[in-house]
Amino acid sequence: MSDEEPTARALQGRRAGIASRAIAAAVDLLVVVVIGYLLMAVAGAVRGLFSGRLDVLVPPAGARGALAALLLIAYLALGWGLNGRTVGKVVLGLRAVGHDGEDLSPARGLARAILYVVFPIGFAWILVSRRNASLQDLVLDTAVVYDWGYGTSSAAGPHPPAGARLRR
Partner 1 sequence: MADARDQTIPPAVLEAGRWMDEALTSSLARVLDALREPSGEGAPKPARRPHRDPAATARRAVGAPARAAADTLTAVVAELIPRALDRIDLDAVLSRIDVNALVARVDIDRLLDSMDPNRLLERVDVDELVRRVDAAALAREAMEGIDMGEVIRESTSTLGSDTVEAGRVQAMVADEAVARVVDRVLRRRRRRETALSRPGAPR
Residues that bind partner 1 (CB under 8 A): 1-2, 4-5, 7-8, 11, 13-20, 23, 91-93, 97, 99-101, 127-128, 130-132, 141, 143, 145-146, 148-150, 168
Nearer to partner 1 (CB atom), residue 14 or residue 159: 14
- Shortest Å, Cβ 61 to partner 1: 36
Closest among 74, 65, 82, 78 to 159, alpha carbons compared: 82
Nearer to partner 1 (CB atom), residue 73 or residue 112: 112
Specify whether the backbone of 167 is left (phi greater than 0), alpha (psi in -120 to 50) or beta: beta
Distance CA 124, CA 101 (A): 22
- Rg for the chain, CA atoms, rounded: 18
Q: Beta-strand (E) ranges in the chain?
A: 94-98, 142-146
Nearer to partner 1 (CB atom), residue 49 or residue 100: 100
Nearer to partner 1 (CB atom), residue 21 or residue 116: 21
- Shortest Å, Cβ 116 to partner 1: 19
- Shortest Å, Cβ 33 to partner 1: 21
